[in-house]
Amino acid sequence: MASQDWFDKDFYAVLGVSKDVTAAELKKSYRKLARKYHPDSNPGNAAAETKFKEISEANSVLADVEQRKEYDQMRAMGPGRARFTSGAPGQSAGFEDVFGGMFGQGGQRGGQRPGGSGGFDDIFSGMFGQGGYGQSSGGFRGAGGPTRGRDQTAATTLDFLTAIKGDTVKLQPAEGKPISVKIPAGVSDGQKIRLRGKGEPSYDGGLPGDLTLTVTVRRHPVFERDGLNLRVDVPVTFTEAALGATIEVPTLGGDPVKLRVAAGTPSGRILRVKGRGVTTDKGVGDLLATVQVAVPAHLTADAREVLEKFAALQPDENPRADLIAKSRS
């Protein structure tokens, strides 16, 4: 879809936001809708997949300050105006329909402005932004010079491990051959990657355009990303927490590591494994294992008897007394 089709698409309505939405509000609305319509949450649902693509396209435009500005400029012209397509034989391409009011009555019709050239490169240089695959932009370079290929946008969904480790993926544009794209290690959900020269080729020998790729990262069943760190909840038994133990903790894409749980470790304590988080050119994170004391749901008669004896040996104190006292102050 070329950027001229922005006339017909209300990206604000797609994301359910107003035209004066802030960047933070836009991000919140996008994430809510993306979770709702994500293909992983709607397997085999073609309508949800289509909706997810519409949401991603709308966000890729409105989340980019320059693209949003250009989109608003185009939408301000109103739907149904000239679309910059070639006219039929003997007919004008219709530029005057859009720009007639800019240069006086008649719009100069291919002539020159007083004191200069026709100046269409000045008009278009700030008007067309990047869009979804096929939604593209490219400025006029002026007479005699090659035209740069138009910029494009695309979206891809990555597995959690692929996003952390990096990989080369193939993208299939609406038209043309697939292209290979190298995903750097450590990309995060919603991140945009600008790929120089991966956009639309120039039709007259100029430089190709760029491709802006928006990445969606699938959630992992065990690990959660926190900046450069990875977090994981690790259950331990009551006796392991009370008496101390050496336990195994999983790592992302590697063998488990052994950690020492000190005697008397409470639920919620964080054990750190240095250097086993996310590795990027900005640094290396850690693996943060949060201890969760697992309470047995069922006890045998013998186990209950022993536990009752243990309870009888404990000091007669209420561990919640301090909490209650503070709540009353």
Q: Which of 161-175, 207-221, 267-281 has the lowest mean pLDDT?
A: 161-175
Supply φ then ψ for residue 60, to 5 degrees: -65, -30
Instruction: Check if the beta carbon of residue 5 is closer than 8 Å to that of residue 129.
Output: no
Taking 70 as the threshold, does the pLDDT of residue 127 lie above it?
Answer: no
List the Cα angle 86/88/90 in 5-degree steps.
Answer: 110
Q: Bigger pLDDT: 315 or 247? A: 247
H and E: helices and strands count for the chain: 10, 13
What does the mean pLDDT of the chain come to?
Answer: 78
Mean pLDDT of the 224-251 span: 94
pLDDT for position 86:
35
Two tokens, residue 312: 């009888």
| Per-residue pLDDT band at 93 (split at 50, 70, 90) | very low
Q: Which of 51-60, 108-117, 146-155, 270-279 has the lowest mean pLDDT?
A: 108-117
pLDDT digits (tens, 9 = 90+) for 4-46: 567 678 889 999 999 999 998 998 998 889 888 888 788 888 8
pLDDT for position 78:
54
DSSP string spanning 68-103?
HHHHHHHHHT-TTS---PPPPTTS---HHHHHTTTS
Q: What percent of the chain has pLDDT over 90?
A: 35
pLDDT for position 224:
95
Instruction: Check if the beta carbon of residue 220 is closer than 8 Å to that of residue 158.
Output: no
Closest by CA to 129, choosing from 37, 195, 53, 63, is 63
pTM for the model: 0.52
pLDDT for position 87:
38
Per 3-state DSSP, what percentage of the chain is helix, strand, and coil (rounded to 5)?
Answer: 30, 20, 45
Taking 90 as the threshold, does the pLDDT of residue 265 lie above it?
Answer: yes
Set out the domains of the chain in order of their start, with CATH numbers.
Answer: 3-86+127-137+149-217 (1.10.287.110), 224-328 (2.60.260.20)
Taking 90 as the threshold, does the pLDDT of residue 176 lie above it?
Answer: no
| Per-residue pLDDT band at 222 (split at 50, 70, 90) | very high
Question: Using CA atoms, how far apart are residues 212 and 214, in angstroms rounded to an integer?
Answer: 7
Q: Which of 68-77, 99-108, 203-212, 319-328 has the lowest mean pLDDT?
A: 99-108
Q: Which residue has the tokens 């693996």?
A: 287
Taking 70 as the threshold, does the pLDDT of residue 279 lie above it?
Answer: yes
Taking 60 as the threshold, does the pLDDT of residue 310 lie above it?
Answer: yes
Supply φ then ψ for residue 125, to 5 degrees: -60, -30
Residues in Cβ contact with 22 at an 8 Å cutoff, skipping those fewer than 6 apart = none
pLDDT for position 5:
62
Instruction: Check if the beta carbon of residue 8 is closer than 8 Å to that of residue 14.
Output: no
